[in-house]
């Protein structure tokens, strides 16, 4: 099947399957756990708020929002991630509504939520304008939209650039996820439907890996997009070795000298106009 022949159901099935690969919940808890509370704090979520987390994964932001007392719907395309999040929330004594849902066709009415958030989630939906339109549609006038996304120039954005030559061509119309890490891109997506836009770039400090190779092997084993790229080149050992080397070199370039790395993200909040 050519990229132009990929239908929307096929594309959604591929995305769902990709994020079920490996162990994304361990990525969320071991590496980026701080991002969810950061987003919740920036949005000022509080008890009684009706909150929708789009592309919630295993609840990186949903669970901190529930801890703040919000009534949270955690939605994601991949049921395996929702099951992991549900189990973690139950262990913490938290009650959330976990819903399988496509970020590009949310099964909710207009003006329903006080806040709509996404923590390195909606950025991976392929059609950016469609996703942005859905975020705006379901939040009430005066409500908050809060987005945290990896930047193109930051470590994860550069990791995707490194993997791109080894990956199959993207489907027609699909846009690169790290574009959501550009303030001008997100402002254009939301347009004049929002006001009080605030955006800042911040670093996430990661000190989980002792060596560059440890980072690479962690992502090869646990991160769906990386696993999918390696599967695509599995029959070409030379390309596998080349990607191994490039990912390790990327990690070495970002090592601050003491085993720490900083992964840059864009944190953007806005209010829907009334």
The residue ranges of every structural domain in the chain are 3-272
Q: Is pLDDT of 144 > 60?
A: yes
Q: Is pLDDT of 7 > 80?
A: no
Q: Is pLDDT of 4 > 80?
A: no
Residue 143: helix, strand or coil by DSSP? strand
Q: Is pLDDT of 266 > 90?
A: yes
Higher pLDDT, 237 or 5: 237
> Which of these, 140, 77, 85, lies nearest to 104 by C-alpha position?
77
Overall average pLDDT of the 29-34 stretch? 98
Contact 160, 176 (CB under 8 A): yes
List of residues 6+ apart from 62 with CB closer than 8 A: 36, 51, 53, 56, 72, 74, 85, 89, 96
Looking at domain 3-272, its CATH architecture is 3-Layer(aba) Sandwich (3.40)
List of residues 6+ apart from 74 with CB closer than 8 A: 53, 56, 59, 62, 82, 85, 96, 97, 98, 99
C-alpha span between 266 and 148 (Å, rounded) = 6
Q: Is pLDDT of 246 > 60?
A: yes
Q: What is the pLDDT of residues 147-164, one digit of tens each?
A: 999 999 999 999 999 999
The per-residue pLDDT for 172 is 87
Q: Is pLDDT of 1 > 90?
A: no
Q: What is the pLDDT of residues 188-214, one digit of tens each?
A: 999 999 999 999 999 999 999 999 999
Q: Is pLDDT of 177 > 70?
A: yes
The per-residue pLDDT for 124 is 98
- Percent of the chain at pLDDT > 70 equals 97
Overall average pLDDT of the 72-94 stretch? 98
C-alpha span between 42 and 274 (Å, rounded) = 21
Q: In sequence order, which ranges of 54-127 are alpha helices (DSSP H)?
A: 62-67, 79-91
For all residues of the chain together, what is the average pLDDT?
95
Question: Could you tell me the two tokens for 17?
Answer: 């399957």
The per-residue pLDDT for 259 is 86
Q: Is pLDDT of 27 > 50?
A: yes
Q: Could you give the strand order of the β-sheet that contains 261-272, starting from the edge strand earlier in sequence?
A: 97-100, 71-76, 50-53, 113-119, 139-150, 261-272, 194-206
The per-residue pLDDT for 14 is 92
Overall average pLDDT of the 37-42 stretch? 98
Q: Is pLDDT of 3 > 50?
A: no
- DSSP assigned state of 123: G
How much is the pTM?
A: 0.95
C-alpha span between 116 and 109 (Å, rounded) = 13
């Amino acid at each position: 099947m050519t990229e132009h022949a990929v239908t929307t159901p096929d594309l959604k099935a591929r995305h769902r399957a990709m994020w079920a690969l490996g162990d994304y919940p361990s990525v969320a808890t071991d590496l980026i756990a701080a991002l969810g509370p950061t987003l919740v704090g920036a949005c000022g979520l509080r008890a009684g708020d009706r909150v929708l987390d789009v592309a919630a994964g295993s609840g990186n932001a949903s669970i901190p929002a529930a801890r703040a007392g919000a009534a949270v719907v955690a939605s994601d395309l991949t049921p395996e991630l929702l099951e992991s999040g549900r189990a973690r929330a139950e262990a913490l004594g938290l009650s959330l509504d976990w819903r399988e849902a496509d970020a590009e066709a949310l099964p909710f009415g207009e003006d329903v939520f006080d806040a709509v958030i996404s923590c390195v989630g909606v950025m991976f939906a392929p059609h950016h304008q469609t996703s942005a339109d859905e975020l705006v549609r379901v939040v009430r006038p005066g409500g908050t939209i809060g987005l945290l996304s990896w930047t193109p120039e930051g470590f994860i954005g550069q990791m995707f650039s490194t993997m791109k030559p080894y990956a199959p061509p993207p489907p027609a119309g699909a846009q690169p996820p790290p574009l959501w890490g550009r303030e001008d891109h997100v402002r254009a997506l939301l347009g004049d439907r929002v006001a009080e836009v605030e955006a800042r770039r911040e670093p996430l400090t990661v000190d989980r890996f002792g060596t560059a190779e440890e980072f690479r092997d962690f992502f090869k084993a646990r991160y769906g997009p990386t696993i999918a790229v390696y599967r695509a080149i599995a029959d070409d050992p030379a390309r596998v070795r080349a990607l191994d080397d490039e990912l390790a070199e990327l990690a070495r370039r970002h090592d601050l000298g003491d085993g720490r790395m900083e992964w840059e993200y864009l944190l953007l909040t806005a209010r829907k106009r009334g």
